Amino acid sequence: MKKTFLVLLTLMCVCCCASFADDGSNLWLHKATGDKAAVTLHAKSTPTTDIAIKELTDGWNGGAVNLAITKQKGMKRDAFSISRKRGFVTITSPSDIGLLYGAYRLLQMQTLGTVSEDFELTDSPFHDIRLLNHWDNLDGNSERGYAGKSIFWHVQGFPETLGQNDVADMRNNPLRNTTYARANASLGINGAVLNNVNASPKMLTTEVLQMTQQYADVLRPYGIKVYLAVNFSSPVIVGGLKTADPYDKEVQRWWKQKAKEIYNLIPDFGGFLVKANSEGQPGPGDYGRTHAEGANLLASAIRPYGGIVMWRAFINNPTDPDRAKQARIEFEHLDGQFLDNVIIQVKNGPIDFQPREPFNALFDALKLTAEMPEFQITQEYLGQSNHLAYLGTMWEEFFHEVMPYANYKANQLRARYNAIAGVANTGTDADWTGHPLAQSNWYAFGRMAWNPDLDAETIANEWVSLTFPKLDAKQHQTLVAMLMRSREAVVDYEMPIGLHHQFGDSHYAPGAWDNRPIRRDWLPVFYNQADAEGIGFDRTKATGTDATSQYHPDFGNVMENLSTCPDKYLLWFHHVPWTHRCQSGRTVWEELCYHYQNGVNEARQLQRQWNSLEGAIDPDIFRDVQIRLMTQTRDAEWWKDGCLLYFQSLHGMPFPDFLDPPVHTLEECKHSRLNVGLYRSPTHEELNKVR
């Protein structure tokens, strides 16, 4: 009897531990229940319906399910309905992919505990094209990627030694590639640009196109199309032509031929993403041609096959002294000149993925041309994979501004293509995203791409429930609270009250003092304009660069006027004396001190909150996040001390009493390891090795 009990106990322990051990690789995806649901398909079977059936069979434990294709007038292809009556579930959609989306939704609801006995719901995506942009290079590196290597490319010495074994992670690791595809499909993400916007011309060689075809084949059943970022000089570098001029007949023929080759391999290829005439990339400007002439060259080549061209508005070659105005200056006058399968891809803010930016004034400037937002899921400027920064709150803020002040929804709906993209944070780390909690950003992007009206907190609640289903209500709330406050904490110590681009070279550590002899508008001192008298970048019409006039007056006038400009954008739009009173009642100097201090306090609070979850989270993930939060607090102190000591060195005012005295000297901050990109937290794999 005693022995049986012991065996049972041991078995229970093994089972508990086995189900508890988690390296984060399964993301927010449900686990198989053990039961086998009876699923009946009332439609032609396809690879996509096979996946839907398998997911439901393995994961649903609430009775029989019917899947049926039904065409309903006005219903989008990806939309679905789920109904449950007397315990019997029916999922309907006009398409097989809609059925798969419905299946994932039902399984998510099961984990969230929101399935009732009888219910009916219909859901339909707002954006039709919902894309990840992977800034991955053929050599396996990922630009601004902080989660290991590229999940797609590991081509050594390309193209000479290209062989079967060089084909990337995805093909060699089927489990991993299905997880990627399932994760995206579970959110409705339906496209992936597989390579960096700083695109290698080699992407268009036959060898790489054949590899791309393999990805397309793997991802297709999950409703995910592949796209490529292309280099405008490809006809010269790959094609051996003398020019890439859009008006050259040979060049036009080359692109048409290339399009034919691509669509022969990949009949549903999504299209091209192009960064042209920006940061050294080639473009139509090299031949005296406009962005429209360049974009149309590519667009007309892939138009017969249904492909699109996403032409980026991030033209970081400023002609105006204020880089924030550049996108609108470059593109507004070209409105109406683009083919209808061109979409202008616009970063959410006008500078460059800062922790907080007002929306880019190019939104709403184009009336005849499609535009799509580009978010950055990878945290280039938000502590990379060391800091916790849940970006749902940032994107919610973007939509709250752009919807009323830039007519966002109407503009999206009138365009032939209605799209959105996010620069991915995925890599080869076991947990995919480096920081285990940064998975929430991939999740939030997908959810908001589907429905931009969703609020960040709802999404955070979903993600926590799906990823950590074993937390009790209090623990769940703690983690949601951490996520919800996290991005504002980063804003507090990296860019309080609109003070932007204060980064050193690594885009990680503080560099407020940085005044190297390089392009002025890459330097923190250019953006802070700080001296003995005051601080801030004047973008007003009255005395500054007049960026405020690029906005609709309902937004621009509020920003222009010092008395109405919200504190969060104060130093983005205004240069003010240190003694200027903020809306909070504090002076600018006090207000800066207040936010830097708050950022440090918040980072500490994140540590405390996380520590309270010990025992409730898988120990490996717990320790991993714990170390990253330690790093975050330490970095927050560098930011606070470095920036405040530098500003104090200009005006000499004392620190307010509420400020914790610095623990670093300014010199120390200036020469900190943080700034040379050597300093980082261990990856998930490295942590595992140490254990």
Rg over CA atoms, the chain: 26
Residue from 353, 399, 417, 513 that binds ligand BDP (CB under 6 A)?
Answer: 353
Nearer to ligand BDP, 35 or 279 (CB): 279
Residue from 144, 586, 604, 651 that binds ligand BDP (CB under 6 A)?
Answer: 144
Alpha helix locations (H) across 385-536? 392-405, 408-414, 439-450, 456-467, 473-494, 524-528
Least distance in angstroms from the C-beta of 135 to ligand BDP:
7
Nearer to ligand BDP, 182 or 291 (CB): 291
**Identity of the residue numbered 554:** D
Least distance in angstroms from the C-beta of 37 to ligand BDP:
44
Q: Beta 80-85 vs 65-69: how paired, if at all?
A: unpaired
Active-site residue, 279 included? yes
Q: Find the length of the chain.
A: 691
Task: Provide the token pair at 630.
Answer: 């330690």
Residue from 202, 275, 291, 670 that binds ligand BDP (CB under 6 A)?
Answer: 275
Least distance in angstroms from the C-beta of 137 to ligand BDP:
11
Instruction: At 79, give phi and psi (nearest 5°).
Output: -75, 160
Residue from 352, 429, 494, 624 that binds ligand BDP (CB under 6 A)?
Answer: 352
Q: Are 688 and 439 in contact (CB under 8 A)?
A: no
Least distance in angstroms from the C-beta of 144 to ligand BDP:
5
In DSSP terms, which residues pair with 69 in a beta bridge? 93
Least distance in angstroms from the C-beta of 423 to ligand BDP:
8
The per-residue DSSP string of 302-333 comes to HGGGT-EEEEE----S-SSS-GGGHHHHHHGG
In DSSP terms, which residues pair with 121 in a beta bridge? 82
Least distance in angstroms from the C-beta of 507 to ligand BDP:
6
Residue from 126, 215, 314, 338 that binds ligand BDP (CB under 6 A)?
Answer: 314
Nearer to ligand BDP, 60 or 363 (CB): 363
Nearer to ligand BDP, 281 or 597 (CB): 281
Distance CA 371, CA 354 (A): 20
Site for ligand BDP in 377-416 (CB under 6 A): 380
Distance CA 251, CA 421 (A): 29
Site for ligand BDP in 362-381 (CB under 6 A): 380
Reduce the DSSP state of residue 371 to 3 states and report it: strand
Nearer to ligand BDP, 178 or 198 (CB): 198
Residue from 23, 58, 139, 143 that binds ligand BDP (CB under 6 A)?
Answer: 143
Q: Are 589 and 651 in contact (CB under 8 A)?
A: yes
Distance CA 144, CA 424 (A): 10
Nearer to ligand BDP, 261 or 279 (CB): 279
Q: Does 198 help bind ligand BDP (rule: CB under 6 A)?
A: yes
Least distance in angstroms from the C-beta of 34 to ligand BDP:
46
Least distance in angstroms from the C-beta of 278 to ligand BDP:
6
Among 279, 531, 533, 614, the one annotated catalytic:
279
Among 123, 352, 364, 462, the one annotated catalytic:
352
Kindly state the DSSP code that residue 633 receives in the 8-state scheme: H
Kindly state the DSSP code that residue 562 receives in the 8-state scheme: T
Q: Are 524 and 501 in contact (CB under 8 A)?
A: yes
Active-site residue, 397 included? no
Size of the site for ligand BDP (CB under 6 A): 9
Buried (b) or exposed (e) across 219-228, using 16+ Cβ within 10 A? Answer: bbbbbbbbbb
Reduce the DSSP state of residue 411 to 3 states and report it: helix
Q: Which residue has the tokens 């036959």?
A: 206
Reduce the DSSP state of residue 65 to 3 states and report it: strand
Q: Which residue has the CB atom at the shortest distance from ligand BDP?
A: 352
Least distance in angstroms from the C-beta of 667 to ligand BDP:
27
In DSSP terms, which residues pair with 423 in a beta bridge? 133, 376
Nearer to ligand BDP, 77 or 507 (CB): 507
Distance CA 204, CA 298 (A): 13
Nearer to ligand BDP, 144 or 220 (CB): 144
**Identity of the residue numbered 265:** L
Among 357, 380, 401, 637, the one annotated catalytic:
380
Alpha helix locations (H) across 142-192? 169-172, 174-187
Site for ligand BDP in 437-456 (CB under 6 A): none
Active-site residue, 352 included? yes
Nearer to ligand BDP, 185 or 229 (CB): 229
Catalytic residues: 279, 352, 380
Q: Which residues bind ligand BDP (CB under 6 A)?
A: 143-144, 197-198, 275, 314, 352-353, 380
